[in-house]
Amino acid sequence: MGFDPKAIRKDFPILNRKIRGKALVYLDNAATSQKPSSVIDLEKSFYETNNANIHRGVHLLSQESTEMMDLSREKVAKFIGAASAHEIVFTRNATEALNLVAHSWGRKFLKEGDEIVLTEMEHHSNLVPWQLAAKAKGATLKFIPVTPEGTIELEAARGLIGPKTKLVAFTAMSNALGTINPVPELLAMAKKHGATTLVDASQWTPHLKTDVAAWDCDFLVFSSHKMLGPTGIGVLWGKRKLLESMDPFMGGGDMIQEVWLDRSTWNEVPYKFEAGTPNIAGAIAFGAAVDYLNKLGMEAVRRHELELTEAALRVVEAEGQIALYGPRDPQHRGGVISFNVADIHPHDVGQVFDSEGIAIRAGHHCCQPLMRKLKIGGTARASFYVYNTLEDVSAFGRGLRKVKDFFKVPAEAKHG
C-alpha cells in the first residue's frame, strides 16, 4: 500500500476544523505537528485506566504505568538506532535537553580556553545555553558562517574546528530555512580533533531517518511534539559512558540512589537526569507517535515531503515578487518554505493567510542572529508534514496571491 496523505488526514481530528469558515490548511509543522487519534486516545486511555506514578510502587497501577513508560523509552531508542533504552533521557522538550547537556556536561568538562563551535543558523535553544556555559567556564564561542543561500561554509568549518575545540554543536536541519546540513562531514571534522559532538535533530528526526550509531555523535536531542506526539516531552540521547560521567541536572526524587542529610548518591542513567514526576502520559503517548511513523516509514515520509517541497518551490518561482530563503535545491532542504512578500511585514503576511484558513508561522523563528546575517527582520514560513497534500500547496499559492492582492503589490515591487 502506497503513501496516501488523504487517507492519513482521516487520522487527525483537528484537520476537520473550519477556520474563519474555511477548511483548515495547517502549514506550521516546523513549530509543532498535529496529533493522530492513536496518540490522543492512548493518552486519554492512560488517565482513565492506568494512571499512577511510576517506579517503586508495589500496586498494579504503578507497575502498569512503569511498564508502559519503559516500553515507550524502548520504542524511542529503536527509532533513532540507540544501543540501549538506558541512553534515552526524557525531558520536557529539546530546549531542556540542550540545557541539560550545557549544564551537566559543559559545566563539568569545559575549562578556560576551550572552544565551542556552533553555526550561525542555530535556534536560540542551541545558542543561549552555550553562551551561559562559556561565560561560566571561560570558554570561547566560535561560529561556522552561513552563506547568503542559507548553507554553512564547510571550508570555514574546517578552519574553525581545531585542537582547542571541546564541543561542536549544530542543527541537522534549520528550523528557519529548512537547510539540511552535512551532518557526517561536520561530525568527522570534530572527531578528528577529539571534540565532543551534539546534534540538534529537532527538525530532522520527525522527517528523515535518524541513526545515531551510523552518525557516531555523542549527544542528540529532539522533541515529541514535532513528530506527532504530545507536548511536554523531549529526548536527550547520549552515549551511555558519557551520560554516566556527567553530574545530575536537577536534584530531587527518583534521581537518587541514597540520601543522607549531608550527601547523596545518584541513580543509574537515565533516571539520574529525570528528577521528579515526569510527564508519564505524554511519554507513553509518544510511543504511539513513534508507532505511527514506523508504520508510514521514514523513507516514505521524506519522499512525500520532497514532492510537496518541490511543488511549493515551483509555486514561489511562478508567482514572482517573493524572496525565498534557504537552498534552492529541494534535495538540500526539508519541507520548509521561508519567504517574504515584497516589503510586507511577515506578521501581516501571516494574518492574510489566516484569513484564508491557512496556518503559517511569521517572525524570527528563534534565530535572531541568522536573521541579522540575512539582513532581514524575519520571514513568513510554511512547513509541511505527512498529512499535507498537493491541495495544501495550491492553498499556499492562493495565500500568496491574496497577500499581493490585499496589499496591492505592484509588478515592479522589490523585495529583499
pLDDT bracket for residue 411 (50, 70, 90): confident
151-183: pLDDT as tens digits: 999 999 999 999 999 999 999 999 999 999 999
38, part of any domain: no
Which three cell numbers mark 416?
Answer: 529583499
325-373: pLDDT as tens digits: 999 999 999 999 999 999 999 999 999 999 999 999 999 999 999 999 9
414 has pLDDT over 80: no
Are 239 and 218 within 8 A, CB to CB? yes
Distance CA 321, CA 319 (A): 7
Are 169 and 118 within 8 A, CB to CB? yes
34, part of any domain: no
Last residue of a domain, one of 266, 294, 322: 294
Distance CA 238, CA 255 (A): 17
Find the CATH number of the domain harbouring 356: 3.90.1150.10
233 in the same domain as 136: yes
**Closest-CA residue to 380 (of 151, 121, 176, 150):** 176
Which three cell numbers mark 115?
Answer: 572552544
378 has pLDDT over 60: yes
Beta partners for 280? none
Distance CA 382, CA 268 (A): 42
The residue assigned the cell 537515565 is 270
247 in the same domain as 111: yes
Q: What pLDDT is attached to residue 126? A: 98
**Closest-CA residue to 38 (of 70, 60, 12):** 12
- From edge to edge, which strands make up the β-sheet containing 234-238? 88-91, 234-238, 219-223, 196-200, 165-171, 115-119, 140-144
403 has pLDDT over 90: yes
187-205: pLDDT as tens digits: 999 999 999 999 999 999 9
pLDDT bracket for residue 416 (50, 70, 90): very low
Q: What pLDDT is attached to residue 1? A: 45
Maximum alpha-carbon separation in the chain: 74
Q: What percent of the chain has pLDDT over 90?
A: 96
40, part of any domain: no
283 in the same domain as 305: no
Distance CA 98, CA 120 (A): 17
415, part of any domain: no
pLDDT bracket for residue 320 (50, 70, 90): confident
Q: What pLDDT is attached to residue 410? A: 85
Residue 259 domain boundaries: 50-294
Are 205 and 222 within 8 A, CB to CB? yes
Number of structural domains the chain divides into: 2
Beta partners for 373? none
Q: What pLDDT is attached to residue 42? A: 98
Mean pLDDT of 261-286: 97
Last residue of a domain, one of 294, 321, 345: 294
41-99: pLDDT as tens digits: 999 999 999 999 999 889 999 999 999 999 999 999 999 999 999 999 999 999 999 99
Q: What percent of the chain has pLDDT over 70?
A: 98
135 has pLDDT over 50: yes
pLDDT bracket for residue 412 (50, 70, 90): low
pTM metric for this prediction: 0.96
Are 335 and 383 within 8 A, CB to CB? yes
Distance CA 105, CA 110 (A): 8
Cβ neighbours around 383 below 10 Å, total: 28
What sign has the CA pseudo-torsion 58, 61, 62, 65? positive
- Which residues participate in catalysis according to the annotation? 366
Beta partners for 18? 23
245 has pLDDT over 70: yes
